[in-house]
């Protein structure tokens, strides 16, 4: 059609736009007569404005619809993002509220890696509201229960007695100290997982040690053969290491104040752990440390009878009693009473001490120790006596005790069968 020079499409009932070529643009009007509705850029014909406008409107409508759809989807996407952020924020706030980070809250439970409210409810449930059948021990400040949590972990729950529950002033100070005690990390100290201070129940949560207490092991004949001399020496070493850590390695020294056989617990390997820090106190090095009496009679230092000023030497005395109890298999109250005046000028008591052989006061349910084990028993006995001075100043520090036990260099070697308590006590009294 580009080579056309003239056309005549009249009376053909044609409609629509003319082709945009020269022959159609220069054709006369008569060439287009008799058609329905031709349009275009030719003489006598209308331009195709209407058709063109409709096409533009259609294209524009499609664009508007596309933009509208994109806008709607964009708004929905943003709303979903905002909703997700809000939900995450609310969850974080809820978890933060469940974390008991303040001691002065009435419903506080602080425990590592757990939701406090959930664990509180779990403990109430698994112990059947502290049913007696779950009780594994009882002390002056509370009753201890075994709690098998739903996640498989077993913990020891020490529920404070009702009298302490009602004393909120003491409980507030008690829980503030627990917060600091949670920071203690030593393999011979029971891990304190957390605590609960609640109007219904107040309790402590510890790791559970299935070996039981030293008191229980020494009183059960079936355990005695297993609890041999080596394990006993290691028990004394473990307690000494723990007390040395508390007295000398903590940022603020801690006095336990209740070292006794009921507060030394064993795991299944008979590794000793000091427990029950309910009476523990932080020692202020810059002032006197006055407190009410706390501890167990028979283990408490004699100076507590006439003064309430305590220091770490109170724990040292209790350790001496405990060390003798470990090697004797029973509490040494009678022996301590009979030897308490051996350092004085009393010839009668000195003679009595000289007549008692160390081998005769040891636990007779076991065969006598031999060789190096016997020498270590001598060291334990000597250190125990050095800790039992009636006055605090001559007693060694727990750091000194732990160091001597670690070195295991007895001064009286190969004399186990002939050494007397008087000899040990005399060496103790004359040593610096």
pLDDT, tens only, 326-342 = 999 999 998 888 776 55
Report the pLDDT value the prediction gives residue 414, as an integer from 0 to 100: 55
Nearest to 301 by CA among 316, 288, 291: 316
Residue 235 CB neighbours (<10 A): 24
Q: Are residues 250 and 182 in the same domain?
A: no
Estimate the share of the chain in helix, then strand, then coil, as percent rounded to the nearest 5: 45, 15, 40
Report the pLDDT value the prediction gives residue 101, as an integer from 0 to 100: 38
pLDDT, tens only, 146-193 = 999 888 889 999 887 766 555 554 555 456 557 656 768 899 998 888
Residue 422 CB neighbours (<10 A): 19
Q: Are residues 250 and 268 in the same domain?
A: yes
With respect to residue 372, please indicate whether it lies within any of the assigned structural domains. Answer: yes
Burial-class residue 129 by CB neighbours within 10 Å (0-12, 13-18, 19+). exposed
Q: Are residues 170 and 287 in the same domain?
A: no
DSSP secondary structure letters along 161-214 = PHHHHH-HHHHHHHHHHHHHHTT---TTB--EEEEEE-SS-EEEEEE--TTEEH
With respect to residue 141, please indicate whether it lies within any of the assigned structural domains. Answer: yes
- For the chain, give the number of residues: 432
**pLDDT at 119 > cutoff 90:** no
Annotated binding residues for ATP, as ranges?
A: 159
> Model-level pTM greater than 0.85?
no
Q: Are residues 171 and 269 in the same domain?
A: no
Q: Are residues 195 and 220 in the same domain?
A: no
Residue 106 CB neighbours (<10 A): 8
Mind telling me the catalytic residues? Answer: 258
113-127 mean pLDDT:
76
pLDDT averaged over the chain? 79
**Structure tokens that stand for 118 in this block:** 């959930």
Annotated binding residues, as ranges?
A: 159
What is the torsional sign of CA 124, 129, 134, 135? positive
With respect to residue 35, please indicate whether it lies within any of the assigned structural domains. Answer: no
What is the torsional sign of CA 273, 316, 216, 222? positive
Nearest to 173 by CA among 104, 99, 263, 255: 104
What is the torsional sign of CA 119, 124, 130, 133? negative
User: Which residues constitute the domain of residue 163?
Assistant: 108-207
């Amino acid at each position: 059609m580009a080579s056309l020079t003239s056309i005549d499409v009249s009376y053909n009932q044609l409609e629509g736009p003319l082709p945009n070529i020269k022959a159609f643009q220069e054709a006369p009007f008569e060439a287009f007569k008799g058609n329905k509705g031709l349009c275009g850029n030719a003489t006598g014909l209308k331009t195709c404005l209407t058709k063109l406008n409709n096409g533009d409107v259609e294209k524009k409508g499609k664009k508007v619809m596309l933009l509208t759809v994109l806008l709607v989807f964009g708004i929905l996407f943003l709303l979903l993002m905002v909703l997700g952020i809000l939900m995450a924020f609310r969850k974080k706030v809820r978890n933060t509220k469940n974390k008991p980070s303040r001691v002065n809250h009435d419903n506080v439970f602080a425990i590592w890696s757990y939701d406090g409210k959930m664990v509180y409810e779990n403990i109430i449930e698994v112990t059947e509201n502290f049913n007696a059948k779950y009780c594994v021990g009882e002390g002056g400040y509370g009753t201890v229960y075994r709690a098998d949590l739903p996640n498989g972990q077993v913990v020891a729950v020490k529920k404070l007695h009702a009298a302490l529950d009602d004393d909120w002033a003491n409980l507030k100070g008690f829980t503030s100290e627990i917060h600091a005690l949670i920071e203690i990390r030593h393999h011979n100290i029971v891990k304190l997982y957390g605590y609960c201070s609640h109007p219904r129940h107040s309790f402590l949560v510890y790791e559970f040690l299935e070996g039981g207490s030293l008191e229980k092991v020494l009183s059960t004949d079936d355990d005695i053969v297993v609890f041999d001399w080596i394990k006993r020496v290691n028990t004394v070493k473990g307690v000494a290491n723990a007390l040395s850590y508390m007295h000398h390695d903590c940022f603020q020294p801690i006095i336990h104040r209740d070292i006794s056989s009921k507060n030394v617990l064993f795991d299944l390997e008979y590794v000793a752990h000091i427990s029950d820090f309910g009476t523990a106190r932080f020692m202020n090095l810059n002032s006197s440390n006055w407190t009410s009496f706390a501890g167990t009679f028979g283990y408490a230092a004699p100076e507590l009878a006439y003064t309430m000023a305590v220091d770490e030497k109170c724990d040292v005395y209790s350790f001496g009693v405990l060390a003798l109890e470990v090697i004797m298999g029973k509490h040494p109250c009678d022996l301590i009473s009979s030897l308490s005046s051996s350092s004085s000028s009393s010839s009668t008591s000195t003679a009595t001490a000289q007549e008692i052989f160390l081998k005769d006061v040891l636990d007779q349910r076991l065969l006598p120790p031999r060789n190096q084990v016997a020498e270590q028993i001598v060291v334990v006995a000597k250190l125990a006596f050095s800790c039992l001075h009636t006055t605090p100043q001559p007693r060694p520090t727990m750091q000194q005790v732990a160091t001597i036990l670690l070195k295991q260099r007895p001064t009286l070697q190969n004399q186990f069968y002939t050494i007397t308590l008087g000899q040990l006590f005399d060496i103790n009294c004359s040593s610096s």
